[in-house]
Structure 1
């Protein structure tokens, strides 16, 4: 990957430590909050996830959970017991907001052109653990090395696609379900114990990480609408001409 002397192309631990996680850049423009932020990410739906079955993270029988949002489970095939929501499992790499600069975002055709101008190897990520957020969402956390393919891509996107609504998926995760309530403290402990075993099995079976689909990236208008898929075209590494990307 070609380096730009004044801007980092690789996300380093220092970058992650200094980033404003409480008030990310995606909050800078008022219009960003009015839009379901578009993003570049990984499509993790059941139909493109042959290596792992995200459905193993669900509690569809409500053994441990007593309540979720009306959207139900967003993974493993979706949920037809609530509002019949589709499977929208995905992991955001870089958000860039609405389809125009006036509202703090970037034109979708420009973002797609940037994606297609970068050469990269298949992306692999490592499942870490299931997490319960302060807003009562369950999410599968994903790990990656800053020098890995996805780490380098994040560095490029955060540099070339910087905008008022720009933000990276922090922490890097797949949202499982929202509005979660457990039947009891004991039920919560039991659920997370089961999930720990599932994730540990995945980590054991895929020591180099999990690949979704063909290891490529996707352009999401929102979590239910994928506009484009870009497949990897190298066996290893990432190649990008930062100056050329800025001139697209």
Structure 2
């Protein structure tokens, strides 16, 4: 589990490093200039991090499924060699597939004025600047979303159905709570991550302004990488004690005044 968490952290670091500096510069300076090559590069690494996170969350869900539903076979089924192969596959697929998609976008013709009304180079703002036919790009996006977002999400749902059934078969309440705690952090991250994707990409945008869409995009580019380490760290007993001490210290200072 911690090996998979390290890879999820790498994905979050890649996303934050790719997006946040330009967002801060845009907010502070109100507007900023970015070259076409930089914009395409930012879009590429953004898509790599998002795609890898979808695949990593699916792999982590399979790991939790084996640990809870088939605990006696877990050591044999989820060996370190298999874990490495799954991680390498996730990253290679993300890098190569997104590269093909990005190269297709880079072949489009763009007509001025090339002004992106967004915090970063996302797909819709880029396509809005193009004066050529974007049908092929949209077909690629639909196919990639189905393969790397819909199918992984379906696998996660099916896995958690089996996990929940297994948990309810445990006779003692203490045993249920202990087993559920092993997958609660992952389930929380999945809900936050896919919830933000649904809000931005699947909810119709006709009912709200473009500004709302832009701020919703901050959910999966800023909030999700921020929340992931906090959610998983809450399982650490030492961190819990430290947080409790800080809260008690703040309360003591407040009431002492």
TM-score (norm 2): 0.23
Higher radius of gyration, 1 or 2? 2
Q: Which structure has the higher relative contact order (CA within 8 Å, separation 6+)?
A: 1
